[in-house]
């Protein structure tokens, strides 16, 4: 992977925005891979700032998000459907009909609704394929090396599928659910590492000392399902953008 060390999230955001703006000028119906979490927020803000400059038009841009909880109504404020629409679709002025989140077809159905849940992963991968694949996939990374909801141990060849959330992830995310872990869904649907690896360009963003170990494992460790992000080493076009703190354990 190409490693770029930046001063702060704003500088990282500008790099992402420059790259994506160039893509959209060349391909007005570009397909963006979108992530939730805090790491990409400055990048979305920077991209929003580019729109309209020299006529940059995003009305035909398409999007596919990485992951979603199972069992939350789509309009629940913490669903990734809501989050992506609030933090990306709205601020960028994308066409909401062109932006997809893996749980959309479930429409809040519970895990027990097998008829809906079972085919959803393969259908999402098929939709990405039908769109011609993802041009640029933005990624954050968990302190344990997860990407999307692919926790350590996830197959590096996996497609979009239903997963059980790790207990630690549910505890970490309880802060978004009134600090009540019982309100955190137990399952999710996430693009697989194999899905993510099909995107033509991966841009992984990580900031702060808390990510230093995960970045070291991702970039300099062996490729292993125990650090799902390490699959990036096998990608022909992966860019890792980190601040000094997140880069602090790199040789």
Residue 246 makes contact with ligand F6R by CB under 6 A: no
The least CB distance from residue 17 to ligand F6R, in Å, is 17
Among 36, 158, 230, 239, binds ligand F6R (CB under 6 A): 36
Q: Which stretch binds ligand F6R (CB under 6 A): 18-26, 94-102, 117-125, 136-144?
A: 136-144
In terms of CB distance, is 56 or 221 closer to ligand F6R? Answer: 221
Instruction: Select the residue whose beta carbon is closest to ligand F6R and give its number.
Output: 140
Residue 87 makes contact with ligand F6R by CB under 6 A: no
Residue 103 makes contact with ligand F6R by CB under 6 A: no
Question: What's the farthest any 2 CA atoms get from each other in the chain?
Answer: 50
**What are phi and psi for residue 66, nearest 5 degrees?**
-75, -40
Q: Out of 9, 50, 135, 151, pick the active-site residue.
A: 151
| The pair of three-digit structure tokens given for residue 251, joined into one six-digit string | 């040789």
CB atoms within 10 A of CB 122: 12
Find the length of the chain: 251
Residue 137 makes contact with ligand F6R by CB under 6 A: no
Tell me whether residue 180 is one of the annotated catalytic residues.
Answer: no
Q: Which stretch binds ligand F6R (CB under 6 A): 6-14, 95-103, 114-122, 140-148?
A: 140-148
C-alpha atoms less than 13 angstroms from C-alpha of 158 in its C-beta half-sphere: 24
Q: How far is CA 173 from CA 38, 104, 180, 196, 239, in A?
A: 13, 21, 9, 23, 27
- Cα separation, 75 vs 208, in Å, equals 31
Residue 67 makes contact with ligand F6R by CB under 6 A: yes
Tell me whether residue 146 is one of the annotated catalytic residues.
Answer: yes
Q: Which stretch binds ligand F6R (CB under 6 A): 122-130, 147-155, 192-200, 221-229?
A: 147-155
Q: Burial-class residue 52 by CB neighbours within 10 Å (0-12, 13-18, 19+).
A: exposed
CB atoms within 10 A of CB 45: 17
Q: Out of 11, 29, 113, 144, pick the active-site residue.
A: 144
- Cα separation, 35 vs 76, in Å, equals 17
Give me the active site residues, please. 67, 144, 146, 151
Where do contacts with ligand F6R occur on this chain (CB under 6 A)?
Answer: 35-39, 66-67, 140-142, 146-149
């Amino acid at each position: 992977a190409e490693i770029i060390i930046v001063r702060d999230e704003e500088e990282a955001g500008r790099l992402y925005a420059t790259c994506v703006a160039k893509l959209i000028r060349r391909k007005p119906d570009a397909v963006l891979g979108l992530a939730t979490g805090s790491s990409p927020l400055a990048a979305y803000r920077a991209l929003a700032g580019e729109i309209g400059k020299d006529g940059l038009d995003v009305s035909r841009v398409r999007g596919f998000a990485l992951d979603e909880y199972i069992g939350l109504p789509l309009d629940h404020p913490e669903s990734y459907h809501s989050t992506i629409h609030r933090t990306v679709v709205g601020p960028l002025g994308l066409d909401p009909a062109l932006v997809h989140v893996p749980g959309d077809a479930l429409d809040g159905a519970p895990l027990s609704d097998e008829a809906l849940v079972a085919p959803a992963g393969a259908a999402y991968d098929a939709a990405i394929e039908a769109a011609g694949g993802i041009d640029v996939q933005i990624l954050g990374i968990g302190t344990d090396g997860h990407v999307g909801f692919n926790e350590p141990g996830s197959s590096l060849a996996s497609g979009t599928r239903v997963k059980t959330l790790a207990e630690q992830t549910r505890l970490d995310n309880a802060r978004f659910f009134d600090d009540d872990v019982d309100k955190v869904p137990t399952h999710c649907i996430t693009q697989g590492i194999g899905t993510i690896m099909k995107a033509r360009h991966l841009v992984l963003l990580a900031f702060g000392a808390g990510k230093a170990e995960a970045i070291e494992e991702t970039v300099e460790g062996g490729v292993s399902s125990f650090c799902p992000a390490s699959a990036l080493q096998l990608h022909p076009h992966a860019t890792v953008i980190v601040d000094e703190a997140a880069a602090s354990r790199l040789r």
